[in-house]
Amino acid sequence: MIVRTESSPVQQQIELQLPSEDGNRGGRVTAPLILTGRAPLIPTEVYDTYWRFAAERQAIFFRRQQGCPAPWTTDVILQAHKFTNAYRASDRVSQYLIRHVIYEGDQTPNEVFFRIILFKLFNKIETWELLKNTFGELRWDEYDFDRYDQPLNDAFESGHRIYSAAYIMPSGGTFGYHRKHRNHLKLIEMLMQDKVSERLQETTSMAEGFDLLKSYPTLGDFLAYQLITDVNYSEITNYSESEFVIPGPGARDGIKKCFSDLGGRTESDVIRVVADRQCDEFDRLGIEFQSLWGRPLQLIDCQNLFCEVDKYARVAHPQAVGRTGRVRIKQKFRVTPARIEYWYPPKWELNHRIEAHAGEDR
């Protein structure tokens, strides 16, 4: 299938070259890429692994969701190591954010934004529950710096981790505190006092919302993109997830492993090409991909998959070198006993489909 868009009036058909079985360039993809007057993307063998990984990781998701017993895959790398889901919103922390942070409690935009930022700057369920157990409902109109600082400081001094290890959170030292969490509480105060939730409602694109968040201390490209994606799970904004993407460091590593030549494109361009071609690539490889109850992979998902394939390739393709040169997968897979009842932003219109499928399974 060839995808054409209204935004590309002049298009050139360029074939995506793959290595032949002997490792030499010259093999051709059965479906061509449609690109605008540029040199072709030149993939490596890791490119096909990208699609196989996405399909198998999503298959694991459904096997677990349906209550099948472990192990959920015969892939020894996926059995041994921890990888995020193919869809970002299906991960445990994102599910908790959507269901218990965004859509529980006062639904006024200001309070929803406060909860999102408070949760995401720590990105750790246990830290959120510590604050909930201390104060009950977490509200901006009842917020006080010293009150919030106390339980966080006590937990830190007791040796408990109050930040997730998923990604490195900048210290926020702009605000002058030695303890990172105090700087982040001050950042929350700044965002709230500047009425950022109201300003986000006035934006017309995800790029505009991203620029607004990025204008604040410590919110660089990667973190601002993650935060605007989380805000967009709520009713504060209603951006299309297909309009904007920012690759993180891990995704850049994955793209470097998947392509030997980007043909002059940015990594963001490559993610868009991959997202647009997902149906064609699964068809080319003869892979039956189970989408998220009819929702295709979005740009944020394809970005995350590049990051995960970077890790996967450290074992599956040790000869593939990324930007950072990392050679090990640090996190081992451990089964989380609590089963997740999956629930997504209502505006995606997936929840009734999940209930219907659950009824069929029963």
Which of 192, 209, 231 delimits the end of a domain? 231
In this structure, is residue 304 part of a structural domain? yes
Supply the range of the domain harboring residue 174.
104-231
Beta bridge partners of 28: 17
Half-sphere exposure of 232 (CA within 13 A, CB side): 26
In this structure, is residue 40 part of a structural domain? yes
Q: Which of 29-43, 73-87, 115-129, 139-153 has the lowest mean pLDDT?
A: 29-43
Same domain, 204 and 305: no
Condensed to tens digits (0 to 9), the pLDDT of residues 84-143 reads 999 999 999 999 999 999 999 999 999 999 999 999 999 999 999 999 999 999 999 999
- Top pLDDT among 21 and 357 is at 357
Same domain, 19 and 62: yes
Condensed to tens digits (0 to 9), the pLDDT of residues 164-208 reads 987 667 766 789 899 999 999 999 999 999 999 999 999 999 999
Same domain, 73 and 120: no
Structure tokens at 260: 């030997």
CA 96/CA 112 separation, integer angstroms: 14
Greatest distance between any 2 Cα atoms in the chain:
66
Instruction: Tell me the one-letter amino acid at 278.
Output: Q
Concatenating the DSSP letter of every residue in 157-207 gives HTT---S-SSSPPP--GGG--SSHHHHHHHHHHHHHHTTHHHHHHT--SHH
Structure tokens at 356: 């219907």
In this structure, is residue 92 part of a structural domain? no
Condensed to tens digits (0 to 9), the pLDDT of residues 203-218 reads 999 999 999 999 999 9
In this structure, is residue 145 part of a structural domain? yes
Mean pLDDT of 38-55: 94
Same domain, 195 and 298: no
In this structure, is residue 296 part of a structural domain? yes
Q: Which of 67-71, 77-81, 291-295 has the lowest mean pLDDT?
A: 67-71
Torsion angles phi and psi, residue 89, rounded to 5: -70, -10
In this structure, is residue 268 part of a structural domain? yes
Same domain, 207 and 318: no
Element (H, E) at 20: none
Confidence class of residue 7 from pLDDT cuts 50, 70 and 90? very low
Contact, 134 vs 151, CB < 8 A?
Answer: yes
Contact, 291 vs 233, CB < 8 A?
Answer: no
For 18-54, letters b (16+ CB in 10 Å) and e give bbeeeeeeeeebebebbbeeeebbbbbbbbbbbbbbb
Q: Is the pLDDT of residue 241 over 50?
A: yes
Look at residue 37 in the predicted model and tell me its pLDDT.
63
In this structure, is residue 352 part of a structural domain? no
Which of 231, 263, 295 delimits the end of a domain? 231
**Cis amide linkage into residue 71, ω under 30° from 0:** yes
Neighbours of 274 (CB within 10 A): 25
Contact, 40 vs 14, CB < 8 A?
Answer: yes
Q: Is 333 helix (H, G, I), strand (E, B) or coil?
A: coil
Which of 231, 258, 287 delimits the end of a domain? 231
> How many domains would you assign to the chain?
2
Structure tokens at 108: 């006024």
Same domain, 122 and 226: yes
In this structure, is residue 239 part of a structural domain? no
Same domain, 249 and 187: no
Same domain, 150 and 209: yes
CA 39/CA 46 separation, integer angstroms: 20
Q: Is the pLDDT of residue 237 over 70?
A: yes
Same domain, 83 and 182: no
Mean pLDDT of 136-151: 98
Torsion angles phi and psi, residue 311, rounded to 5: -65, -50
Contacts of 163 (CB under 8 A, 6+ apart): 122, 123, 124, 127, 169, 180, 181
Confidence class of residue 36 from pLDDT cuts 50, 70 and 90? low
Same domain, 127 and 208: yes
Same domain, 214 and 249: no
Confidence class of residue 21 from pLDDT cuts 50, 70 and 90? very low
Same domain, 221 and 287: no
